[in-house]
């Protein structure tokens, strides 16, 4: 007995064969077209406000890699090599290079975005970008970012590299957090590492130093600081305290500017099931509470 033919499978197989043949023909056409097309133009896109790298520098990389491209056949231009040369630049995070059938070479460049400038204990100067990578300072452009200095032992080789020390990673984490928060991005202008390896925040408003310690429990510490700013600062003034210590997650310790005054503590009992503002209000020293 003859088996019934599965016409659905036959048509599906035929469709695959036709599609494959079409792709082969198209690739052959593109290959032939590429043999005859010459480079007519180069379009370079460098988005972003930072200007670590200019079009002239990209042009120089192209010329060094492949020579003069305009008028050259596309088949003679190694686009992959151009892409790799661009990615080797310390200020370029990512690059794509491709050509269309009109002979136009398109180059899209994404620059590295620094969020912190570091001056280490050896006076080496470098940036840390948004991806946590060290990158060199540019002779052409200075980014408007936080500056960190003091007892920072992180070494910089001069090339793009990963962070090594925990302190450097904490500085990066702190700078990234500050950049994402509108209030702290406006208020904090510098990070300092003191002799105890504590990170200190230097505010734009007020003369006090904010002792952060490490970036451990960073969100909790900064939430405590915000609550303290909201409750205490409007009452006592911005220049009352010499230091505001938030390195412990359950308290804010304040040292007054007056030499003969004792430190004051606003305790934030993390075991209480209350909103942070309520805890600060109830546990704050008497002089900082609302008058009843």
User: Has residue 20 got a pLDDT over 70?
Assistant: no
User: Has residue 95 got a pLDDT over 50?
Assistant: yes
In the chain, the percentage of residues whose pLDDT exceeds 90 is 53
Tally DSSP H helices, then E strands, for the chain: 8, 14
**Maximum alpha-carbon separation in the chain:** 110
What order do you get walking across the sheet with 104-111 strand by strand? 41-45, 104-111, 92-99
Q: Give whichever of 124-133, 237-246, 251-260 has the largest mean pLDDT.
A: 124-133
The burial of 103, by beta-carbon neighbours within 10 Å (0-12 exposed, 13-18 middle, 19 or more buried), is given as buried
User: Has residue 273 got a pLDDT over 90?
Assistant: no
How confident is the model over 153-166, as a mean pLDDT? 96
- Beta strands of 79-113 (E only): which ranges? 92-99, 104-111
User: Has residue 193 got a pLDDT over 70?
Assistant: yes
Note the helical H segments in 201-254.
218-231, 233-236
Average pLDDT, the chain: 82
The class (CATH top level) of 41-111 is alpha beta
Classify 4 as helix, strand or coil. Answer: coil
**Residue length of the chain:** 292
Q: Which carries the bigger pLDDT value, residue 169 or residue 15?
A: 169
User: Has residue 247 got a pLDDT over 80?
Assistant: yes
Domain spans, the chain: 41-111
Residues contacting residue 116 through CB under 8 Å, at least 6 positions apart = 127, 128, 145, 146, 147, 148, 171, 172, 175, 191
pLDDT of residue 50: 72
pLDDT tens digit sequence for 261-271: 445 555 544 43
**Long-range contacts made by residues 94-100, C-beta under 8 angstroms, separation at least 24?**
99/39, 99/74
pLDDT of residue 224: 93
């Amino acid at each position: 007995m003859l088996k019934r033919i599965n016409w659905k499978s036959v048509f599906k197989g035929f469709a695959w064969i036709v599609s494959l043949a079409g792709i082969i023909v198209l690739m052959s056409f593109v290959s032939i077209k590429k043999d005859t097309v010459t480079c007519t133009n180069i379009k370079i896109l460098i988005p972003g406000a930072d200007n670590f790298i200019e079009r002239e520098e990209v042009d120089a990389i192209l010329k060094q890699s492949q020579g003069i491209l305009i008028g050259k056949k596309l088949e003679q231009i190694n686009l992959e090599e151009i892409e790799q040369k661009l990615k080797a630049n310390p200020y370029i995070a990512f690059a794509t290079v491709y050509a269309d059938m009109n002979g136009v070479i398109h180059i899209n460049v994404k620059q590295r975005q620094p969020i912190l400038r570091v001056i280490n204990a050896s006076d080496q100067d470098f940036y840390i970008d948004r991806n946590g990578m060290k990158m060199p300072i540019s002779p052409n452009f200075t980014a408007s970012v936080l500056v960190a200095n003091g007892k920072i032992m992180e070494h910089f080789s001069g090339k793009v590299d990963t962070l090594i020390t925990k302190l450097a990673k904490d500085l990066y984490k702190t700078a990234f957090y500050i950049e994402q928060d509108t209030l702290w991005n406006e208020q904090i202008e510098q990070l300092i590492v003191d002799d105890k390896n504590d990170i200190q925040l230097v505010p734009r408003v007020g003369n006090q130093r904010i002792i952060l310690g490490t970036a451990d429990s960073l969100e909790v510490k900064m939430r405590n600081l915000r609550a303290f700013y909201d409750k205490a600062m409007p009452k006592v003034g911005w220049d009352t305290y010499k230091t505001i210590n938030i390195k412990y997650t359950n308290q804010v310790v304040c040292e007054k500017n007056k030499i003969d005054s004792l430190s004051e503590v606003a305790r934030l009992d993390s075991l209480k099931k209350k909103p942070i503002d309520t805890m600060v209000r109830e546990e704050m020293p008497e002089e900082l509470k609302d008058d009843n």
